[in-house]
């Protein structure tokens, strides 16, 4: 009886679906940041997968370990304490609900802005409510990750043969850059194992709207990416590496050469998954369109021009799994 009640609850709220990855043999591209061929390999990975693993990135592991500790400390707090720093509208603490259009997952998270001059009262409050170490750990981590991310974006531009190496990175370096940061905690769910059916969706399938996302997780698996043929591949976890996603905006700026990768996270039945993701976005007023420096003379833009603000406004009215670029495609 207990099990069937749990089953009903999980079914109703948490979308148990059978979603075993259908491809097991595909190798996720792995890029060594200090490889002289890195720029070429990055471009290839972004065209074929919209996704790659980054090794030899030069960021000392203590930055990751430090933040992981602080995040763990936060998520271990009593629910009532965590709830004081929510809801995520759009920044703050959230549990199970993702966005505001009915998406749910087996997850709790903190969403923060990374722009010091648009720090919202909510972000201030989160850090006020926690020991200062938490803020230092976030700032220390982001300082390193941003620097590395600019380098990756410059390699992308270079690899695409664009003379202006900072065409992408300048948007994130801009003091008005609309970037954000997310700490995700996927608690284990032993009931699902007991029920022995399907998987528990932690974060449903979606693409990231921004330019680029940089993910780091602890050693608990769960992330899956969707290949061009529609099959799903599990990404083996590696707490020493980063995983890079191409976002919708980068797909548009490259006129579809780079693919915004569809991905999702399944919760583990026995282990905690903790991930930290930096989403690099342009300033709100930035006009998003394919880069003229990339287009051949007869090439036509696949997209209608829009500002990042317009895209964001539209995005908050979508469900997670929606194709957010579709309304901006030229027919
Ligand atoms: C997906 C990528 C980032 O996590 C995020 C998410 C955002 C949110 O959690 O508030 C969104 C989602 C994400 C896209 C569609 C909308 C907005 C939830 C949702 C249903 C922070 C982002 O920028 O877009």
What is the residue-level pLDDT of the chain in tens, covering all 331 positions?
566 666 666 665 455 556 666 666 678 999 999 999 999 999 999 999 999 999 999 999 999 999 999 999 999 999 999 999 999 999 999 999 999 999 999 999 999 999 765 556 677 788 888 888 999 999 999 999 999 999 999 999 999 999 999 999 999 999 999 999 999 999 998 777 666 666 889 999 999 999 999 999 999 999 999 999 999 999 999 999 999 999 999 999 999 999 999 999 999 889 999 999 999 999 999 999 999 999 999 999 999 999 999 999 999 999 999 999 999 999 8
Q: What is the per-residue burial (b if ≥16 Cβ within 10 Å, else e) of 126-150?
A: bbeebeeebbebbeebbebbbebbb
According to the model, what pLDDT value does residue 124 have?
A: 75
- Give the pairing type, strands 223-226 and 180-186: unpaired
**DSSP code string of 108-131:** EEEEEE--GGG--HHHHHHHHTS-
Protein residue closest via CA to atom 13 of ligand 1: 208
Q: Which atom of ligand 1 is nearest to the CA of 208?
A: 2
Q: Which atom of ligand 1 is nearest to the CA of 109?
A: 9
Helix axes 61-75, 132-159, angle to 10 degrees: 130
Lookup result for tokens 């304490």? 81
Q: Which atom of ligand 1 is nearest to the CA of 90?
A: 10
Return d(Cα 10, Cα 5) in angstroms, integer: 9
Helix axes 132-159, 121-128, angle to 10 degrees: 130
Return d(Cα 18, Cα 219) in angstroms, integer: 23
| The two structure tokens encoding residue 167 | 């065409």
Residues with CB under 6 A from ligand 1: 90, 98-99, 101, 103, 111, 180, 182, 206, 208-209, 279, 315-316, 318-320
Return d(Cα 183, Cα 216) in angstroms, integer: 10
What contacts 94, CB < 8 A, 6 or more positions away?
Answer: 86, 87, 88, 108, 109, 110, 111
What contacts 273, CB < 8 A, 6 or more positions away?
Answer: 184, 185, 186, 202, 217, 218, 220, 221, 222, 237, 265, 267
According to the model, what pLDDT value does residue 115 have?
A: 76
CB-based contact 168:253 (threshold 8 Å):
yes
CB-based contact 44:155 (threshold 8 Å):
no
| Residue 96, Ramachandran bin (φ over 0: left; ψ between -120 and 50: alpha; else beta) | left
According to the model, what pLDDT value does residue 215 have?
A: 98
Protein residue closest via CA to atom 23 of ligand 1: 209
pLDDT (tens digit per residue) in 209-229: 999 999 999 999 999 999 999
CA-nearest of 329, 202, 207 to 275 is 202
What spacing in Å lies between the alpha carbon of 262 and ligand 1's midpoint?
A: 13
Backbone angles phi, psi at 141, to 5 degrees: -65, -50
Whether the link from the prior residue into 168 is cis, omega within 30° of 0, is no
Return d(Cα 186, Cα 124) in angstroms, integer: 24
Return d(Cα 170, Cα 135) in angstroms, integer: 25
According to the model, what pLDDT value does residue 126 have?
A: 86
Protein residue closest via CA to atom 5 of ligand 1: 208
Give the global pTM.
Answer: 0.95
What spacing in Å lies between the alpha carbon of 166 and ligand 1's midpoint?
A: 26
């Amino acid at each position: 009886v207990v099990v069937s009640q749990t089953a009903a609850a999980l079914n109703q709220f948490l979308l148990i679906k059978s979603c075993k990855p259908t491809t097991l043999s595909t190798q996720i591209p792995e890029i060594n940041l200090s490889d002289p061929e890195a720029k070429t390999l990055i471009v290839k990975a972004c065209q074929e997968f919209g996704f790659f693993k980054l090794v030899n990135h030069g960021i000392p592991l203590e930055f990751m370990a430090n933040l992981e500790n602080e995040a763990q400390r936060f998520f271990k707090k009593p629910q009532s304490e965590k709830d004081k720093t929510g809801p995520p509208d759009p920044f703050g603490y959230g549990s199970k609900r993702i966005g505001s259009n009915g998406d749910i997952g087996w997850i709790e998270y903190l969403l923060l802005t990374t722009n010091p001059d648009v720090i919202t009262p909510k972000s201030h409050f989160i850090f006020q409510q926690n020991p200062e170490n938490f803020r230092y750990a976030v700032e220390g981590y982001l300082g390193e990750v941003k620097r590395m991310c600019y380098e990756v974006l410059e390699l992308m531009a270079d690899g695409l043969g664009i003379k202006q190496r900072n065409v992408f990175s300048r948007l994130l370096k801009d003091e008005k850059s609309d970037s954000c940061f997310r700490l995700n905690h996927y608690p284990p769910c032993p009931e699902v194992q007991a029920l022995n059916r399907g998987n528990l969706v932690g974060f449903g399938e979606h693409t990231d709207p921004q330019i680029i996302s940089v993910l780091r997780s602890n050693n608990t698996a769960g992330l899956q990416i969707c290949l061009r043929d529609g099959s799903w591949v599990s990404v083996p976890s590696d707490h020493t590496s980063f995983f890079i996603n191409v976002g919708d905006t980068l797909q548009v700026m490259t006129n579809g050469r780079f693919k915004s990768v569809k991905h999702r996270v399944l919760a583990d039945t026995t282990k905690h998954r903790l991930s930290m993701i930096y989403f690099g976005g342009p300033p709100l007023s930035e006009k998003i369109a394919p880069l003229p420096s990339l287009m051949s003379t007869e090439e036509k833009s696949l997209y209608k021009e829009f500002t990042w603000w317009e895209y964001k406004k539209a995005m908050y009215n979508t469900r997670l799994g929606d194709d957010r670029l579709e309304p901006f495609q030229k027919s």
